[in-house]
């Protein structure tokens, strides 16, 4: 079964990147610290064909586009290799440059039971998320978050997060567990190397959401805020 939540390592020519990806019902939704990945897949007899579009959500120029353009389209085919899935292909914008990726499943046991969403609750979809630390703590995170009927899946190039939420009448609250899928201690010393539990609450509308949160990283308690912007409805 190809469906599930994955961490992804991909290579385009000599450049290497990482992301997270959720796969279900012919859709592929994910991304990393600067780009959302929005695509589709078709199962054939012994292969899977995918088409994935990249869309920038972080304007920071230090996050460079591997394809040389923020909006790119990947066409690839692949299949299972044990528990992994491997794909090969290329970008429409860079003919002749080979693309390779490995998708490794994140254990379903880590995904909590979904919460509930009532009238006026937050919209199901793929969001960009920009997190800012408070109380003079430097650092933050940018990534993507998939919200679907009370369940949270998301991440970036180094972390993945799973959680649950309840939402109605323009409010939402929930819990998130943030964990590394690729070592990030050097890049983010605040959260790197820790399994971080986060409790949050905030407001929401049809275009996005705001939240305030408290995170427990090791023995350290951290306050943060985040802005979510809807990129694709489910």
> Average pLDDT for residues 179-184, to the nearest whole number?
82
Q: 91-123, pLDDT tens digit by residue? A: 999 999 999 999 999 976 667 778 889 999 999
Whole-model pTM: value is 0.92
Amino acid 109: pLDDT = 63
Domains of the chain: 4-105 (2.40.128.380), 109-233 (2.40.128.380)
Q: 120-168, pLDDT tens digit by residue? A: 999 999 999 999 999 888 777 899 999 999 999 999 999 999 999 999 9
pLDDT band at 191 (very low <50, low <70, confident <90, very high): low
Question: Is residue 225 within 8 Å of residue 213, measured between CB atoms?
Answer: yes
Q: Angle at the Cα of 138 (from 133 to 143), degrees rounded to 5?
A: 55
By the 10 Å C-beta count (0-12 exposed, 13-18 middle, 19+ buried), 165 is classed as: buried
Supply the DSSP string of 99-166, one letter for each residue.
EEEEEEEPPGGGSPPP--B-TTPPPPEEEEEEEEE-TT---EEEEEEEEETTEEEEE-SSEEEEEEEE
Q: Reduce the DSSP state of residue 37 to 3 states and report it.
A: strand
* Mean model confidence pLDDT for the chain: 92
Q: 203-218, pLDDT tens digit by residue? A: 999 999 999 999 987 7
């Amino acid at each position: 079964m190809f469906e599930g939540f994955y961490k992804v390592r991909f290579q385009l020519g000599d450049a290497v990147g990482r992301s997270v990806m959720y796969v279900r019902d012919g859709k592929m939704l994910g991304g990393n610290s600067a780009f959302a990945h929005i695509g589709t897949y078709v199962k054939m007899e012994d292969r899977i064909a995918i088409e994935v579009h990249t869309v920038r959500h972080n304007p920071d120029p230090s996050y460079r586009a591997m394809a040389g353009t923020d909006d790119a389209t990947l066409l690839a085919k692949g299949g299972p290799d044990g528990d992994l899935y491997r794909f090969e292909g290329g970008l429409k914008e860079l003919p002749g440059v080979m693309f390779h990726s490995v998708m490794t499943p994140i254990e379903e046991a880590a995904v909590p039971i979904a919460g509930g969403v009532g009238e006026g609750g937050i919209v199901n979809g793929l969001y960009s998320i920009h997190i800012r630390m408070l109380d003079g703590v430097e650092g933050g995170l940018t990534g993507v978050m998939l919200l679907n009927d009370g369940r949270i899946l998301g991440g970036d190039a180094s972390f993945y997060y799973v959680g649950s939420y309840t939402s109605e009448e323009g409010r939402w609250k929930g819990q998130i567990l943030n964990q590394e899928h690729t070592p990030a201690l050097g890049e983010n010393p605040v959260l790197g190397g820790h399994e971080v539990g986060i409790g949050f609450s905030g407001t929401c509308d049809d275009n996005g959401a705001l939240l305030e949160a408290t995170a427990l990283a090791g023995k350290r308690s951290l306050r943060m805020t985040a802005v979510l912007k809807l990129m694709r409805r489910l």
